[in-house]
Structure 1
Amino acid sequence: MEIERKIDQSIEKIFSLQIEQSLEFSNEDHHLSGRELKISKGNNCYNFDGSSPIIAGVQTHKELDFDRSIEYEFSSDSGNYFVSGRDIYLNNIAYSEDNLKILSGSIYSLSNTKSINKNEGLFRRFILPLGNEKINLSDFQKFPVTFSSNGRKSRAFYLLIDVKGIKYYIYQRKFKNENYLFIDSGAKLSEKEFQKICFNIMLTFAFVKGNLHHDQSYILGFETEEMEVVDEISYYSMRVSAITNQPTFTTNIYSIYKDEFENLNETEEKALKEKLYEDIYDFDATTFSKLVELFNDEEKAQRAVILFIHGHHSSLEIRLPNYYVALEAITSLISNKFKSTKERLNPIKDNDIANEIISMTIDNIEKYIKDKNIAKEDINLEIIKRKLDSLNTPPNADKLAEPFNRVGYKLNEEQLKILKKRNSYLHGSFVKYVDEDKVFKEALYVSLRVHFLIAVLILKMTEFEGKIINYSSLWKYMTEKEIIEDRLVKI
């Protein structure tokens, strides 16, 4: 389905916000009221510079505090901007010879509309500056889009997803040698709701392709679906990007099997390509949409994938605990979804029998203490009771393994062994040996196995079928493990 997009005014609005300008601080109850501040675009924020009269007495700078509950107004002939006090940071205060404080600071959000006046129902456009970076859309199911700009038309591709019955159109454009990602809503939404969806779209890209681009964004609001005349515009500085270049999924077989194409003749290369491209398809829009909904609706899933992504480029001491915590969050989510039909993994299946055994054990201990006349300070009975209460708790490895059955994935023996290593790596007992080459390679190997298992669970929750990257095989030259497995594995 081909669409047309007009984005000139959107880009002009953003560029106009990036021009340095002088604005008047307009809040009467603040010491800076009526003062002129120079606002300029900085790195993932806006910077401001100005001055204020010095108040007689000890200088505590309290008069320059910004109340987090107030929106402050910056005004000029060209328009007004509103900034929450929680997003204004005073970074430096100096003194001039003419009895003024010289101020500089940062602003992490601003809008041309006060929060209380924002329209709860506008068509929305999310614009993410990427600089020299690009999000690789070639691996995804896509459709043609035509852009109209200054009377000329050009074509590219867009992704179309559907989240809770609302369509979102995702595409990229380049302006002034910088790349921008666009997300347009197909229905009217509040800015807050739209912003949350966009974050989870970016999180889905990060899960699939390994890179979370999320430093800063602009959100625009429009009365009409054509999105030509901008009614509202807001800027937000967001969480730091995580560029790991460790995707879960790819359709580029050369990036995975490059070495196998060396020294092949034309016939051999063609045969190898046909073999490797079997079951390789674009990442479909339905799976993408389901992932966005999953991360949007389930806090555990969202938290797990954030840990997963940031774990990719962390040291092994941090990566492995991150991965295991992410794995536990996902397995817990799946277990809760199937709670009514969940198999009891406890060593004693009947709760009444388990409670009776625990009660009898406590009675025997108390009798022993009494018969032997043992002092209370010599045996801490309360701690023993707490330990006995957990006597019938299932092993962690069993709790981690059970959800794989629920999503239709059969674990092999090696994967079951990896789940049993959870305690060692989650609690960091390997850290003191991490400098040893053998231990380092083993820890790396375990991390790659857990990486795969997390990806399996998350994707199978969306009923995904296809091939994903098996890093334990792809990177076996680093771990020096003898692994006879495909580098792309169908799940």
Structure 2
Amino acid sequence: MNIITKHINATFARINALKAPQTLKLETDHSLLRNYDLLLNKIERGYSAKINFKPFKGFSSTQMHRIKLPQPIILTNEDTTYFIPENSIHLHQVFNDFFGDDPTIDIVGTIDRISTAENESNFDNKFLRFVVPVIPQRDKLKNIRGWYYNTDAKTENRNLLKVRINATEYHFYEFKLGNDAFLAIDSTEFCKLAEFQKICINILLGLGFLYGNLYLDEGFLLSSSSVEFKEIDDISFSIYCKSIMTTYSIHTTNAYSVHDMTAQNEEEDNKNHKEVKKWTNLIIELENTIYSSLCELLYNSEPISRAVITTLQANLLSLEIKGSAYSLALEAITAVFMIENKEKRPKPVADKVFNELKKKFLNVLEDLLPEIKENQDSRKIFKARIDNLNSPSNTDKLQKSFDLVNYKLQDYEIKALKARDKFQHGELPVTDNSDDTVFREVYFMTLIMHRMIYTLVLKRIGYDGYIINYPQIHRHMTDVDLQEEEFYKL
């Protein structure tokens, strides 16, 4: 079998050139800042920009109270030309010494996007590569069964996945270069920029959904006329959404990362190791095809993609808000599944039975609220209520979605679905309002709802394996022992 080779030296020659501190001439039609030198520096998120502006006779600071540079905004030096898209540079003025002799004003700010391409269309119909800086700790793709690849650079962590979305293959891989780590996505055929960007976001979102961290602070997009990327045509940099870093990985191949290994003596230590070892052949790598199915689902269904983002964000919220966010995610996923399967929510009674009931209710309405002017508003409200009495509840709809993925809900899971109504209305599903009770009972409910979100999505894409069972792991915090294992079989 041929080993995949990734050429990344040319990629990082361009990235490093863009990241290097440099002075460029600002070409713009702004009447005051035209042809000034701009100092460009890479900062933690985005770029900093600085111009040493020299006031002239008659200048007033109010002339640059708001600084908006008209398009096109071009930065040039002897080596390169960069273009800054509209609304991507944010500048303001800073006086060095308001009462001093130095009249210089610093114009400073940040740049969110910068590119060597004058138009985004320059990236269309090319091979595209997206490179995202990530924290260097741990391999990011090691828990998914993939491929090893060769490269023309001295890198570590050479894990690669072949992600197929709507019959098109993309390569998703990681590497560590020196002290820096990166995730990268390559197209394997010519593609359009807008479509590729959406693909990349959902591939990264799939990883975040499974392992708790969505890396999307910023990234570099590169184009090439060759699938090998030995030469780079254009490069652009963009800030995206703020990365979401949580501790809620749902899948692992390392039981030691889940089981509490605390031991007071040798006997307890041996017992812990025996418990961990029994999972060795059960918690295995996720299949590449399953990961592809997840990414494809997210790409094709924006409501589920948003629900996944909501779930990741909810992991970081306080308990009082967490339940409401998980409820929204469950409802969004359920709605998609019902439409996919052309399922109607189950009604409380058959239409024939309801029609008989409806007649009797309407007769009562006529008796108690006859059709006269002063009853008009009340009759309208009651009639609408009667017409909708046979509408299924949201809980029924949510339960039906689990039937569609062949998952039998347990009693405590049905209770969590019913608790969703209280979360949605700003209430908490608790037996009393003491702080201890609120924490234990709400935390348990949110842990169950969190697992149910993953159950729906993972069963939908055909996953047949184990997930981390947080409700059981955190039993010491909720005082609820489900008598389950620390890994939950779907």
- Superposition deviation, residue 305 in structure 1: 0.3
Q: Distance in 2 between matches of 1:376 and 1:99?
A: 77
1:296 aligned onto 2:299: yes
Quickly say closer, same or farther: Cα 1:155–1:411, change in 2 above 3 A.
closer
TM score, norm. by length of structure 2: 0.89
Identify the residue that residue 413 of structure 2 maps to in structure 1: 415
Which of 238, 241, 244 lines up with 1:242 in the alignment? Answer: 244
Q: Distance in 2 between matches of 1:94 and 1:349?
A: 76
Q: If each structure's strand is expressed as a fraction of its own residues, which one has the higher value?
A: 1
Identify the residue that residue 197 of structure 2 maps to in structure 1: 195
Matched residue of 1:195: which SS? Answer: helix
Deviations 1:118-158 (A, max 9, x none): 13111111111124444532211021211223xx7978332
Identify the residue that residue 217 of structure 1 maps to in structure 2: 219
AA in 2 matched with 1:317: E
AA in 2 matched with 1:213: Y
Deviations 1:295-321 (A, max 9, x none): 111011101100111111211112111
Which of 370, 387, 390 lines up with 2:388 in the alignment? Answer: 390
AA in 2 matched with 1:305: V
Contact 2:262–2:269 (8 Å) recurs in 1: no
Identify the residue that residue 256 of structure 1 maps to in structure 2: 258
Identify the residue that residue 468 of structure 1 maps to in structure 2: 467
Greater Cα shift, 270-279 or 11-20: 270-279
Which of 144, 148, 152 lines up with 2:152 in the alignment? Answer: 148
- Superposition deviation, residue 441 in structure 1: 0.7
Greater Cα shift, 11-20 or 446-455: 11-20
Quickly say closer, same or farther: Cα 1:431–1:364, change in 2 above 3 A.
closer
Q: Distance in 2 between matches of 1:294 and 1:170?
A: 17
Identify the residue that residue 320 of structure 1 maps to in structure 2: 323
AA in 2 matched with 1:42: I
Contact 1:10–1:220 (8 Å) recurs in 2: yes
How do 1:37-56 and structure 2 match up within 5 A?
37-52=38-53, 53=55
- Superposition deviation, residue 74 in structure 1: 1.6
Identify the residue that residue 127 of structure 1 maps to in structure 2: 131
Contact 1:145–1:155 (8 Å) recurs in 2: no
- Superposition deviation, residue 331 in structure 1: 0.6
Matched residue of 2:12: which SS? Answer: helix
Deviations 1:15-71 (A, max 9, x none): 11111111222123554222221111112111111145577568263672246xx45
Quickly say closer, same or farther: Cα 1:58–1:89, change in 2 above 3 A.
closer
Contact 2:29–2:69 (8 Å) recurs in 1: no
1:438 aligned onto 2:437: yes
Q: Distance in 1 between matches of 2:411 and 2:269?
A: 39
Quickly say closer, same or farther: Cα 1:64–1:31, change in 2 above 3 A.
farther
Greater Cα shift, 230-239 or 28-37: 28-37
How do 1:165-176 and structure 2 match up within 5 A?
165-176=167-178
Matched residue of 2:148: which SS? Answer: strand
Q: Distance in 2 between matches of 1:258 and 1:76?
A: 58
AA in 1 matched with 2:108: S
Matched residue of 2:132: which SS? Answer: strand
1:283 aligned onto 2:278: no
Q: Distance in 1 between matches of 2:66 and 2:129?
A: 38
Greater Cα shift, 418-427 or 256-265: 256-265
- Superposition deviation, residue 385 in structure 1: 3.9
Identify the residue that residue 313 of structure 2 maps to in structure 1: 310
How do 1:84-99 and structure 2 match up within 5 A?
84-94=85-95
Structure 1 unaligned blocks of 5 or more? none
Deviations 1:341-361 (A, max 9, x none): x254122332x7757855764
- Superposition deviation, residue 366 in structure 1: 5.3
Q: Distance in 2 between matches of 1:40 and 1:347?
A: 64
Contact 2:159–2:173 (8 Å) recurs in 1: yes
Greater Cα shift, 52-61 or 315-324: 52-61
Greater Cα shift, 137-146 or 174-183: 174-183
Contact 1:125–1:185 (8 Å) recurs in 2: yes
Matched residue of 1:146: which SS? Answer: strand
Matched residue of 2:158: which SS? Answer: strand
Quickly say closer, same or farther: Cα 1:57–1:29, change in 2 above 3 A.
closer
Which of 177, 180, 192 lines up with 1:178 in the alignment? Answer: 180
Greater Cα shift, 470-479 or 58-67: 58-67
- Superposition deviation, residue 430 in structure 1: 2.2
Matched residue of 2:189: which SS? Answer: strand
Q: Distance in 2 between matches of 1:355 and 1:31?
A: 76
Deviations 1:258-290 (A, max 9, x none): 439984699978864553234322111111111
- Superposition deviation, residue 393 in structure 1: 1.9
Identify the residue that residue 206 of structure 1 maps to in structure 2: 208
1:489 aligned onto 2:482: no
Identify the residue that residue 83 of structure 2 maps to in structure 1: 82
Quickly say closer, same or farther: Cα 1:128–1:467, change in 2 above 3 A.
same
Matched residue of 2:407: which SS? Answer: coil
Identify the residue that residue 114 of structure 1 maps to in structure 2: 118
AA in 1 matched with 2:149: V
Contact 1:146–1:155 (8 Å) recurs in 2: no
Matched residue of 1:118: which SS? Answer: helix
Matched residue of 2:328: which SS? Answer: helix
AA in 2 matched with 1:183: I
Deviations 1:316-373 (A, max 9, x none): 112111111000100111001111xx254122332x77578557645753553348x7
Which of 425, 428, 440 lines up with 2:426 in the alignment? Answer: 428
Matched residue of 1:400: which SS? Answer: helix
Q: Distance in 1 between matches of 2:62 and 2:379?
A: 58
Q: Distance in 2 between matches of 1:223 and 1:401?
A: 50
Quickly say closer, same or farther: Cα 1:93–1:393, change in 2 above 3 A.
farther
Q: Distance in 2 between matches of 1:71 and 1:355?
A: 67
- Aligned-pair identity in percent equals 27
AA in 2 matched with 1:283: L
Q: Distance in 1 between matches of 2:364 and 2:429?
A: 41
Q: Distance in 1 between matches of 2:275 and 2:61?
A: 78
Which of 64, 68, 74 lines up with 2:67 in the alignment? Answer: 64
Contact 1:30–1:63 (8 Å) recurs in 2: no
Contact 1:217–1:235 (8 Å) recurs in 2: yes
Identify the residue that residue 368 of structure 1 maps to in structure 2: 368
